Chains A and B, each alone.
Chain A
Amino acid sequence: MKKFTFRPTPEIVVLVVLLVVSLLGLLFIDALVAPPKLLFGRSLTAVAPSLFPSIIFVGLALLCAVLLVLLNLQGGHEHEASLTPHEWRRGVVFFGTMTLYALTMEPFGFLISTALAVALLTWQMGNQSWIQTVLLAFGGPILLYLAATRLLAVSLPELNVIELAYARLLGG
């Protein structure tokens, strides 16, 4: 019989995480799901709110466990050609920039945070032209901001100072 040898490939890691999550979900289902509403001591619904999630957790845990065993028995792990350290670094910088963008959009406003994110991404993509970077970092957000607020009449987060200046320019 073949021995279990778990190499932490991406698919094994994903399956183990999902297995643990589903087992924890099953274990703490009563804490994670509020008790059903009662009327005169009887539940208002035929199905308890934790029933369907419990079925899914059991199914998920079983599937993950079976897949882990099958992957081990088959020997081969199906995953993409592994990324090079350089590609990993680029990925980390990309998601770092996106997280920064997400975190700064409300406190800094759409224009400033987008200009920063666009400049960082343009630089990361290897654009050597300063003129292109500046035009893209300032022109792009301004055009999108105007299109969103004037054409689609939706709001994007903005600093009070910029919103006031913008309103004054438009005669508000």
Chain B
Amino acid sequence: MLDQFAEGFGMALRFDTFLMMSLGLFGGMLVGALPGFTTLMAMAILLPISFFLDPIVGIPFLLGIYKGGIFGGSIPAILISMPGTGAAVATSRDGYKLTQQGKSRKALDMALFASVFGDTSSDIFTILMIFPIAFLVMQFGPPELFAVLLLSLVIIAATSGSNPMKSLVMMMLGLWLSFIGTDPLGGVERFTFGLFDLKSGIPLLPMLIGVFAIPEIASVVMRNERAKQLAALMGERLSRAEFRRCVRTICRSTVIGTAIGIVPGLGQVVAAMMGYSAAKNASDHPETFGEGELEGVAAAEAANNAVNGPTMVPLLTLGIPGDNVTAILLGAFVAQGLRPGPQLFSDQGATVFAILVAMVFANLLFLVIGYLSIPFFSRLVTIKVSILIPIVIMFAFAGAYVFRSDSVDLLMLVVFGLFGIIARIAKFDVMPMVMGFILGPPMEYAFGQTVAMTNGDAFGFFLGERWGALGILLAIPVIGFLLWRRMRAVAAG
């Protein structure tokens, strides 16, 4: 393992990796800073670029967009009380109050430092933990894999959206969409309706861009949103004493964010809210939270950025994307020929380490780029959407086309975009659908293998030989229910 780490460390030290990571960070901050535009949209649209780069360059490029975008989202949250991402909602509570008090520069500096601290710590944790977890996962057979995949889907359904039953409906729809094409076990055609274009199934990329990016754009177009008046970047920079005062809060939020990141489906929004609530509860002066408290900004930003690293644990060890951003990363891994799962660590361990080490380097770049470019990104919040929207659409269509060079993918993009906006109007979360679509084929495969292994005696097989898988299967409804209750409490509080 140490050999692989050393090799991966060496592989990550490439000029083009650093260059593309810097571009990704800059691009992510740029998109995140634009009100109405999200990191998810940027990642979905720029995903195809990563296909044409080396894995050690392309995936860090996407990770740069991811990290930069989350911080970028806090810029409009602090300056104009318009969170660029869901993760920045908690930041806007105190950040905007600080802006109103003429301390926007302090708030943005705190957001940057807390983000970098949370992100770096969680990335180091990920590097230390990922191989032991992968080793454990290597002991899994088809029954355990099926049970864990099912558990992940239930966790995602229980924690995404406001209604777990609606999330389950979307997950089932995603599973059905994954059946279109060729059966992974027997190789027979299913649900192709005789159409040649459907024989290889629905391509992931138009679906990702369609359901994640197009509804965001359509929402801006339909509401004809325009940027708010810019609040000037004001006040002094953050002092060392102010940062030191928040160190305990940052550490606490980092632990919360890291723990949440490992569990599929929870994500940054929950982490930011829980980090903020924990800081408020632990504070000697909770009444200042929501009134322009620097600790509030630090708590939310450290927690939401600490999610980034650990989300890679279920993704890389089991191939389970924890949220919609890691679903896009999974697309990048697969397109690069790196199939996430325990086998990845024995076959491409050095590459995995190179990507993880690049994540840590990205944080250092993030600190420098963020610190220098805060004034520039602060100006972006007023850029005209009439210029941005056509450019984003152009990238979305070009991106959806280049992977297979098939114009049918463009129509699929429009159809999924339309579906995304209908789902948004009807308040159905599309994330469980994408998760169902991605996890459907491996789940069916594991299910088929499990059935073959039982030799017609499922009860005896699970009780006698696979009590671990049985335990997970029995725990699924309980875990799902407990998580759903916890999510309701977080949403209410």
Closest chain-A Cβ to B281's Cβ sits at a distance in Å of 30
Indicate if the CB atoms of A90 and B397 lie closer than 8 Å.
Answer: no
Q: Which chain A residue shows the least CB distance to B221?
A: A94
Closest chain-B Cβ to A69's Cβ sits at a distance in Å of 11
Indicate if the CB atoms of A60 and B165 lie closer than 8 Å.
Answer: no
- Contact string against A for B residues 184-199, beta-carbon threshold 8 Å, 1 for contact and 0 otherwise: 0111111101000000
Task: Judge whether A73 is part of the interface by a CB distance below 8 angstroms.
Answer: no
- Contact string against A for B residues 429-453, beta-carbon threshold 8 Å, 1 for contact and 0 otherwise: 0000000000000001001100110
Indicate if the CB atoms of B176 and A53 lie closer than 8 Å.
Answer: yes
Chain A residues near B190 (CB, 8 Å)?
A: 32-34, 49-50, 53
Indicate if the CB atoms of B224 and A60 lie closer than 8 Å.
Answer: no
Task: Judge whether B172 is part of the interface by a CB distance below 8 angstroms.
Answer: yes
* Complexed CA–CA distance, A162 and B407 (Å): 19
Chain B residues near A99 (CB, 8 Å)?
A: 411, 414
Q: Is the interface of A mostly helix, strand, loop or mixed?
A: helix
Task: Judge whether A167 is part of the interface by a CB distance below 8 angstroms.
Answer: no
Partner among A52, A83, A121 whose Cβ is within 8 Å of the Cβ of B179: A52
Task: Judge whether B238 is part of the interface by a CB distance below 8 angstroms.
Answer: no
Indicate if the CB atoms of A33 and B448 lie closer than 8 Å.
Answer: no
* Complexed CA–CA distance, A148 and B400 (Å): 13
Indicate if the CB atoms of A67 and B169 lie closer than 8 Å.
Answer: yes
* Stretch from B74-82, B267-275, B300-308, B420-428 contacting the other chain: B420-428
Partner among B175, B426, B452 whose Cβ is within 8 Å of the Cβ of A46: B452
Task: Judge whether B387 is part of the interface by a CB distance below 8 angstroms.
Answer: yes
Indicate if the CB atoms of A13 and B169 lie closer than 8 Å.
Answer: no
Indicate if the CB atoms of B426 and A60 lie closer than 8 Å.
Answer: no
Residues of A117-172 contacting chain B, CB below 8 A: 117-118, 121-122, 124-127, 132, 136-137, 140-141, 144, 148, 152-157
Q: Given contacts A57-B176, A70-B165, A94-B221, is CB(A45)–CB(B185) below 8 Å?
A: yes
Task: Judge whether A105 is part of the interface by a CB distance below 8 angstroms.
Answer: yes
Chain A residues near B395 (CB, 8 Å)?
A: 144
Partner among A64, A88, A105 whose Cβ is within 8 Å of the Cβ of B401: A105
Chain A residues near B447 (CB, 8 Å)?
A: 47, 52
Closest chain-A Cβ to B17's Cβ sits at a distance in Å of 17
Indicate if the CB atoms of B427 and A79 lie closer than 8 Å.
Answer: yes
Indicate if the CB atoms of A33 and B414 lie closer than 8 Å.
Answer: no
Indicate if the CB atoms of B52 and A153 lie closer than 8 Å.
Answer: yes
Q: Given contacts A11-B427, A94-B221, is CB(A101)–CB(B397) below 8 Å?
A: yes
Chain B residues near A106 (CB, 8 Å)?
A: 407
Q: Given contacts A136-B391, A154-B402, is CB(A80)–CB(B414) below 8 Å?
A: no
- Contact string against A for B residues 400-426, beta-carbon threshold 8 Å, 1 for contact and 0 otherwise: 011001010011011001100111111
Q: Given contacts A63-B165, A98-B393, is CB(A49)–CB(B186) below 8 Å?
A: yes
Residues of A76-99 contacting chain B, CB below 8 A: 78-80, 83, 87-88, 90-91, 94-95, 98-99
* Complexed CA–CA distance, A153 and B191 (Å): 35
Task: Judge whether B312 is part of the interface by a CB distance below 8 angstroms.
Answer: no
Task: Judge whether B485 is part of the interface by a CB distance below 8 angstroms.
Answer: no
Indicate if the CB atoms of B172 and A60 lie closer than 8 Å.
Answer: yes
Indicate if the CB atoms of A90 and B221 lie closer than 8 Å.
Answer: yes
Indicate if the CB atoms of B428 and A14 lie closer than 8 Å.
Answer: yes
Partner among A32, A88, A122 whose Cβ is within 8 Å of the Cβ of B390: A122
Indicate if the CB atoms of B165 and A66 lie closer than 8 Å.
Answer: yes
Q: Given contacts A117-B390, A126-B224, is CB(A95)–CB(B414) below 8 Å?
A: yes
- Contact string against A for B residues 358-402, beta-carbon threshold 8 Å, 1 for contact and 0 otherwise: 000000000000000000000000001111011101110110011
Closest chain-A Cβ to B434's Cβ sits at a distance in Å of 16
Closest chain-A Cβ to B179's Cβ sits at a distance in Å of 5
Indicate if the CB atoms of A45 and B222 lie closer than 8 Å.
Answer: no
* Complexed CA–CA distance, A144 and B394 (Å): 9
Task: Judge whether A15 is part of the interface by a CB distance below 8 angstroms.
Answer: yes
Residues of A1-33 contacting chain B, CB below 8 A: 9-11, 13-15, 18, 22, 25, 32-33
Indicate if the CB atoms of A126 and B386 lie closer than 8 Å.
Answer: yes
Chain A residues near B385 (CB, 8 Å)?
A: 125
Q: Which chain A residue shows the least CB distance to B452?
A: A46
Chain B residues near A127 (CB, 8 Å)?
A: 384, 386-387
Interface centre among B190, B418, B424 (most CB of A within 10 A): B190
Interface centre among B183, B407, B422 (most CB of A within 10 A): B183
Q: Which chain B residue shows the least CB distance to A19?
A: B169
Chain A residues near B218 (CB, 8 Å)?
A: 91, 94-95
Chain A residues near B163 (CB, 8 Å)?
A: 78
* Complexed CA–CA distance, A45 and B52 (Å): 37
* Complexed CA–CA distance, A153 and B48 (Å): 12
Task: Judge whether B233 is part of the interface by a CB distance below 8 angstroms.
Answer: no
* Complexed CA–CA distance, A71 and B248 (Å): 45
* Complexed CA–CA distance, A87 and B427 (Å): 17
Indicate if the CB atoms of A49 and B185 lie closer than 8 Å.
Answer: yes
Partner among A9, A11, A156 whose Cβ is within 8 Å of the Cβ of B428: A11
Given contacts A125-B224, A153-B52, 12 further A-B contacts (CB under 8 A): A18-B173, A25-B176, A33-B189, A37-B187, A37-B188, A46-B451, A47-B451, A49-B188, A78-B163, A132-B387, A140-B391, A144-B395
Seen from chain B, the residues whose Cβ lies within 8 Å of a Cβ on chain A are 49, 52, 162-163, 165-166, 168-169, 172-173, 175-176, 179, 183, 185-191, 193, 214, 218, 221-224, 384-387, 389-391, 393-395, 397-398, 401-402, 405, 407, 410-411, 413-414, 417-418, 421-428, 444, 447-448, 451-452
Seen from chain A, the residues whose Cβ lies within 8 Å of a Cβ on chain B are 9-11, 13-15, 18, 22, 25, 32-37, 43-47, 49-50, 52-53, 56-57, 59-60, 63-64, 66-67, 70, 78-80, 83, 87-88, 90-91, 94-95, 98-99, 101-103, 105-106, 110, 114, 117-118, 121-122, 124-127, 132, 136-137, 140-141, 144, 148, 152-157
6 closest Cβ pairs, A-B complex = A125-B386, A46-B452, A10-B426, A102-B410, A127-B386, A11-B426
The 22 sampled A-B contact pairs (Cβ below 8 Å) are A33-B190, A46-B448, A52-B447, A56-B176, A60-B176, A63-B165, A63-B168, A79-B425, A80-B427, A87-B222, A88-B222, A91-B421, A94-B222, A98-B214, A99-B414, A122-B390, A132-B387, A136-B387, A141-B394, A148-B398, A153-B52, A157-B401
